[in-house]
């Protein structure tokens, strides 16, 4: 019998091609905005949300426009939550995932849904029945050239709450607004185990008698 030793085990996950909506708050609710600029004491905005199923993070959307001509990139970041969801939830620790950057110069002066994609190692596994915070983080903010994000401040009805970051830095929270957002994931449709770096143990024979063209009376170990 041939056996193998020194094996390393790893698991390969296969993603579904179907995009699943995880959570959202529609742009039809938008009636106000936050300015993301240095003299407004807000440089990042986040929304707490719920992930119901075990999924892989794919993308998110925010409802954005620009004022003036902001420069630099924008990214979406994904955080674990601290505090009470829906009341004073806010990001904690380092970002779990960061999207590919988008140039702020590509925004228009009218609100549009802007998609941020998570790629490579940033396509993280999301735990089911878990609260998270998705955050818009632009860079190179100015006082006259800045980004605006759509919110609902009249009748906010999302189950989560908004987190506002100032440049000092610190997170403030409010449940009197909700950010317009969409979060998408993909399902894991297959999980398989593979082995690497095997060492083959050769078969051996004992008590064998060699004939001219064959082996006889051999016992295989």
**More reliable by pLDDT, 16 or 108:** 108
Question: Tens of pLDDT along 114-173?
Answer: 999 999 999 999 999 999 999 999 877 777 889 999 999 999 999 999 999 987 778 999
Instruction: Write down the pTM of the prediction.
Output: 0.79
- Give domain status of residue 166, yes or no: yes
C-alpha distances in Å from residue 164, one per residue of 26, 40, 89, 148, 206 = 20, 11, 11, 13, 76
- Give domain status of residue 220, yes or no: no
Quick check: 219 pLDDT over 50?
A: no
Distance CA 43, CA 140 (A): 10
Domain with residue 55: its CATH number is 2.60.120
- Give domain status of residue 64, yes or no: yes
113: left (phi over 0), alpha (psi -120 to 50) or beta: beta
How many domains would you assign to the chain? 1
- Give domain status of residue 2, yes or no: no
Let me know: does 49 contact 218? Beta carbons within 8 Å.
no
- Give domain status of residue 211, yes or no: no
Q: State the residue range of the domain holding 79.
A: 13-193
Q: What is the DSSP letter of 213?
A: S
- Give domain status of residue 8, yes or no: no
- Give domain status of residue 136, yes or no: yes
- Give domain status of residue 70, yes or no: yes
Query: Nearest CA to 62 among 145, 171, 150, 133?
Result: 150
Which residues touch 44 (CB under 8 Å, ≥6 apart)? Answer: 36, 135, 136, 137, 138, 164, 165
Phi, psi of 120 (to 5 degrees): 55, -130
Question: Tens of pLDDT along 29-64?
Answer: 999 999 998 667 799 999 999 999 999 999 999 999
């Amino acid at each position: 019998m041939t056996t193998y030793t020194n094996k390393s085990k790893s698991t390969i996950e296969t993603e579904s091609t179907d995009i699943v909506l995880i959570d959202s708050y529609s742009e039809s609710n938008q009636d106000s905005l936050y300015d993301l600029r240095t003299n407004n004491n807000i440089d990042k905005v986040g929304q707490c949300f719920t992930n119901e199923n075990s999924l892989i993070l794919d993308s998110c959307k925010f409802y954005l426009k620009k004022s003036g001509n902001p420069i630099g990139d924008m990214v979406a970041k994904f955080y674990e939550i601290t505090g009470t969801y829906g009341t004073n939830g806010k990001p904690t620790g380092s970002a779990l995932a960061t999207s590919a950057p988008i140039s702020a110069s590509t925004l228009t002066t009218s609100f549009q849904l802007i998609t941020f994609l998570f790629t490579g190692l940033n396509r993280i596994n999301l735990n089911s029945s878990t609260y998270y915070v998705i955050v818009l983080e632009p860079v190179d903010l100015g006082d006259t050239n800045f980004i605006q994000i759509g919110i609902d401040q009249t009748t906010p009805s999302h189950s989560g709450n908004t987190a506002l970051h100032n440049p000092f830095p610190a997170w403030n929270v409010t449940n009197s607004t909700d950010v317009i957002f969409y979060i998408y994931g993909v399902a894991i449709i297959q999980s398989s185990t593979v082995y690497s770096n095997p060492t083959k143990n050769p078969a051996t024979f004992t008590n064998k008698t060699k004939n001219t063209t064959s082996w006889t009376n051999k016992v295989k170990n």
